[in-house]
Amino acid sequence: MARQIGVGIIGAGSIADIGHCPSIAALENAKLAALCDPNKEILDKMTKKWEPEKSYTDYQAMLEDKNVEVVIVGSPNRYHAQQAIDAMRAKKHVIVEKPFACTHEEAWKMVDVSKEEGVFLMAGTNQRFWEQNVIARKLIDEGFIGKPQMGRSSLHEGWNLYHEKLSFTRFRQYPNEAGAGALFDLGAHRADLLMFLMGSKPKRVIGMIKAFGTDYTPLDDSFWIMIEFENGATGVISGDRFSPAVSNISEVYGTEGTIFTASEATNPFQTAPLAVFTSKNFKQSELPEIVREYRYPQLFWSEDIMQPDGYVPKRWVPIYPKRGWAYKSMLEHFLNCVEKDVPPSLTPEESALVTDILVGAYKSMETKSWVEVGRDMENYIVPLYDAPEIV
């Protein structure tokens, strides 16, 4: 039997219930060593359901537990940075739920502490671990669509869905706990996934963040952010918290093809989780295996091998990978890295850049100009947020 790595979760809320706890239970090399939440009612409910080895109302006490090797920070956004830093200083490897941090200073301090303490730190932006997104990145790396030039990633999902139907608490409505609304909640996923697909770090951003309705929360409920990447490519991310029907798509436009991918919903215009097109010439035997396996005939069963020039006809190919569970894949990757002492594929620097994209877009509304992102960016605190001092 594989050695089981003890995982402790700070924040026994809905994402622990539907994401992290089931993933721990499904992995042979993981065990739920501890659950922690200051809300005793929620903690008792989750303890009864998931049966951790120990339960805590004080996360500092949990960090003293020697059976906890990996900590997942799933508390409200305001506490992410300090709790992650405290966990790293206790020599724990850490996964931080999105948003990674609420300010530029928080994010890069977290990066520095991970280096100082010699522990792994990774954001819980799980959407890059969906199989369709992994396949998309592999095809892009192999040059299937040529050089990526433009990209877009969007998620439009109303407050009435996850927040009303699944969330244990209302912290996302409150500025001092959430920091921002749709921007932090949805934007973190979009920025991370677009960076992953484009294969380049962001250079500068400009955006528009608005609150179309303030009855539910004074925080923003929509965002558009333009990104210029270091390799010269461009991208856009968008999202909102008022759309009653979920819409989710990521697009990458290359010099020789296009890839569409989605994980959160389907609709009549988007029936496959992944669709790929290339203008490159391929013989059937030369196609990437995943494309060949899903390239069903349209007119005649042998159409791909009967062409006069030997090349398959150029057309879209829809791909339907197994549904899987991105939270499980993410945790499995992280635990394997811990076990083998190999850094995770998602670096803390990349997650700090995601924070810079989000807060930089807000800053661009004040400066009315592009904002350069990266370690040298000036700190900026989004409106309505009273940032805590991180020690």
- Tell me which of 303-307, 316-320, 361-365, 383-387 is least confident: 303-307
What's the CA gap between 40 and 118, in Å, rounded? 33
Say yes or no to pLDDT of 379 above 90. yes
Q: Which of the four pLDDT bands, split at 50, 70 and 90, describes residue 63?
A: very high
pLDDT of residue 281: 96
Instruction: Enumerate domains of the chain plus CATH numbers.
Output: 5-125+327-346 (3.40.50.720), 128-324 (3.30.360.10)
Q: What is the mean pLDDT of the chain?
A: 96
pLDDT exceeds cutoff 80 at 25: yes
Kindly report the pTM of this predicted structure: 0.96
Residue 1 pLDDT exceeds 80? no
3-state SS, residue 133: helix
The structure tokens 């931080």 sit at 96
Give 208-245 pLDDT, tens digit per residue. Answer: 999 999 899 999 999 999 999 999 999 999 999 999 99
Spatial CB neighbours of 376, under 8 Å, sequence gap ≥ 6: none
What residues does 251 pair with on adjacent strands? 152, 260
**Long-range contact pairs involving 44-50 (C-beta distance under 8 Å, separation at least 24):** 46/12, 46/16, 46/17, 46/21, 47/12, 49/17, 49/21, 50/17, 50/21, 50/25
Nearest of 129, 125, 127, 104 to residue 358 by alpha carbon: 104
Tens digit of each residue's pLDDT (9 = 90 or more) over 254-307: 999 999 999 999 999 989 999 999 999 999 999 999 999 999 999 898 999 899
The answer, yes or no, to whether the previous bond of 99 is cis (omega within 30 of 0) is yes
Return d(Cα 354, Cα 78) in angstroms, integer: 16
User: Which tokens is 90 given?
Assistant: 């206790």
Dump the DSSP string for 200-266: S-EEEEEEEEE-S--SS-SS--EEEEEEEETTS-EEEEEEES--SS-EEEEEEEETTEEEEE-SS--
